[in-house]
């Protein structure tokens, strides 16, 4: 089969359904090409070594990549974000028609929804099926993050979603909760498949030396790695850190990465004069594993929202695979994974007191008890959520719709 991966974000941008997925499909005997934009996520600035042009073809690790122009932006401005999404949708549709040949099936990564809209047009034009992989439910995510509140706009987004769901040959979702939600909206149950996300296992297990270091002050390090956006509820984490500092809990709260909420979080830490909170810059994925592996505990947190109760944040899989105790500040499907695995502790999201208590509880355990939690986490990941398991399920779907 020749498979086209249509995704707005791809390497060198941080994405777990990017090059890793493409190479895994290729290694199973399939031909894979990628249609994507010029790298600018998550900072909204074009990466060094790239310049936006009308079209660029490159090859990374043997995978052909078609890069098309887009308006680079990923800040809190709704208008700029919309321009970012729409510009890629238009250019990927036009250049996808012109530059891709002999495709058997299109895989569309959503978000943003506009990428799947592009896939539906390409599918129609080239008379081939497409499979949409839903990582965020729209318009739910738009309202949950506060990005869009205009009811007319949300209504339009909902109609586009219905169009995409109807046109797609199969819909893949990341959790049982997502599937139930789509069924409640009229999507046929037999059209939806649940495939849990995996993490970049090779990058995490074969990490590069990293110049960025965790604090070395004889305290345990709790690491929160990934996008520092509005949905991650950073103010609640910082309030929990304030409580822990007052209690003289021997733990550092360490944020690794960038995002639209980072500057405000840094200002809040300075305002509260916290000495137990640290911010580290974004590092390449190959170096993230180095920092995860030397941390003592890992944190997953999202704001309390109905949508997030059926969401499994991508850092969950990476944290499980690293074999570290997890503080899970997310309700619902993600919490159930941690509970089922015995990999850590669960607390109510956006509740600083409960989060502080959960962190303090892990700190109070013996090193052996934390190591046992980590061992359970790793075993659960490789048994249930691994790349190998996920790719086999995707290939089965692609062969079914071809």
The pLDDT tens digits of the residues spanning 249-304 come to 999 999 999 999 999 999 999 999 999 999 999 988 778 889 999 999 999 999 88
Angle at 225 between CA 347 and CA 139, to 5 degrees: 70
Residue range 157-213, pLDDT digits in tens: 899 999 999 999 999 999 999 999 999 999 999 999 999 999 878 878 766 788 899
What are the Cα distances from residue 373, in Å, to 41, 49, 252, 279?
33, 42, 20, 26
The whole-model pTM stands at 0.80
DSSP string, 298-316: EEEE----TGGGG---HHH
311 or 62, higher pLDDT? 62
Overall average pLDDT of the 93-107 stretch: 97
Question: For residues 19 and 27, is the Cβ–Cβ distance under 8 A?
Answer: no
Overall average pLDDT of the 67-84 stretch: 88
Query: With pLDDT > 90 as the criterion, what percentage of the chain qualifies?
Result: 79
Per DSSP bridges, beta strands 56-60 and 63-68 are antiparallel
Overall average pLDDT of the 101-126 stretch: 95
User: How far is residue 8 CA from its own chain's centroid?
Assistant: 13
Q: What is the pLDDT of residue 131?
A: 98
Average pLDDT, the chain: 93
Structure-token pair, residue 195: 């495939």
Q: What is the pLDDT of residue 145?
A: 65
Q: Which domains does the chain have, with CATH numbers?
A: 2-198+386-401 (3.40.50.2000), 202-384 (3.40.50.2000)
Above 90 in pLDDT, residue 219?
yes
**Angle between helices 113-126 and 78-99 in degrees, nearest 10:** 20
Above 80 in pLDDT, residue 147?
no
Query: With pLDDT > 70 as the criterion, what percentage of the chain qualifies?
Result: 99
Overall average pLDDT of the 307-331 stretch: 91
Q: What is the pLDDT of residue 207?
A: 65
């Amino acid at each position: 089969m020749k498979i086209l991966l249509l995704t707005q974000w791809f390497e060198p941008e941080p994405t777990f359904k990017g090059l890793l997925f493409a190479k895994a499909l290729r290694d199973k005997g399939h031909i894979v090409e990628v249609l994507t934009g010029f790298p600018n996520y998550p900072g909204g600035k074009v990466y060094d070594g790239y310049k936006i042009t009308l079209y660029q073809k490159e090859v990374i690790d043997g995978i052909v990549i078609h890069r098309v122009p887009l308006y680079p932006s990923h800040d809190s401005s709704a208008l700029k974000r919309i321009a970012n999404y729409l510009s890629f949708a238009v250019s990927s549709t036009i250049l996808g028609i012109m530059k891709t040949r002999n495709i058997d099936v299109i895989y569309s990564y959503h978000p943003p929804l506009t990428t799947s809209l592009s896939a539906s047009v390409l599918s129609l034009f080239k008379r081939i099926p497409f499979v949409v992989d839903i990582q965020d439910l729209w318009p739910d995510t738009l309202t949950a993050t506060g990005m869009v509140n205009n009811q007319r706009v949300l209504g339009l987004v909902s109609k586009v979603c219905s169009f995409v769901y109807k046109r797609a040959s199969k819909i893949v979702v990341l959790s049982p909760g997502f599937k139930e939600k789509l069924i409640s909206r009229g999507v046929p149950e037999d059209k939806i498949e649940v495939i849990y996300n995996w993490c970049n296992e090779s990058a995490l297990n074969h990490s590069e030396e990293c110049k960025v270091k965790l604090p070395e002050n004889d305290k345990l390090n709790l690491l929160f790695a990934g996008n520092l956006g509005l949905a991650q509820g950073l103010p609640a984490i910082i309030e929990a850190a304030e409580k822990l500092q007052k209690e003289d809990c021997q733990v550092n709260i360490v944020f690794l990465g960038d995002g639209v909420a980072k500057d405000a979080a840094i200002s809040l830490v300075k305002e509260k004069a916290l000495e137990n909170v640290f911010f580290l810059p974004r590092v390449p994925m190959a170096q993230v594993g180095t920092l995860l592996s030397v941390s003592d505990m890992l944190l997953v947190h999202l704001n309390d929202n109905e949508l997030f109760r059926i969401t499994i944040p991508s850092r969950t899989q990476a944290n499980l695979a690293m074999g570290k105790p997890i503080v899970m500040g997310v309700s619902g499907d993600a919490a159930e994974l941690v509970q089922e695995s015995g990999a850590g502790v669960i607390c109510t999201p956006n509740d600083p007191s409960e989060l502080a208590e959960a962190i303090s509880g892990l700190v109070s355990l013996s090193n052996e008890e934390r190591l046992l939690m980590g061992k359970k986490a790793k075993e659960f990941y490789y048994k249930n959520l691994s790349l190998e398991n996920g790719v086999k399920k995707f290939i089965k779907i692609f062969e079914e719709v071809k």
